[in-house]
Amino acid sequence: MGKKDRLKAIGNAGRVIDVGGIFTYAREAGMIPSLAARFSNVDSKLSILIVLGDICGIG
């Protein structure tokens, strides 16, 4: 018969992939502040523009 290998658990890697990336996972896990917390002291319309600029690579 063929050789059988045991697989190691992937730990949190599956959850990181499910949520869409390491930074989203870290925000959900409380490791880094959320984007909303980052801009909580800024006018909401301005914070949306800042976040969109970050996402689009502007600024």
What per-residue confidence (pLDDT) applies to 8? 81
What per-residue confidence (pLDDT) applies to 44? 59
What per-residue confidence (pLDDT) applies to 40? 65
Q: What is the pTM of this model?
A: 0.47
Q: How far apart, in Å, do the first and last CA atoms of the chain sit?
A: 60
> What is the rounded distance in angstroms from the CA atom of residue 6 to the CA atom of residue 21?
27
Q: Which two tokens stand for residue 50?
A: 């800042």
Q: Is 39 exposed, middle or buried (0-12, 13-18, 19+ CB in 10 A)?
A: middle
pLDDT tens digits, 20-38 = 888 888 888 888 887 777 6
Q: Which two tokens stand for residue 43?
A: 């006018």
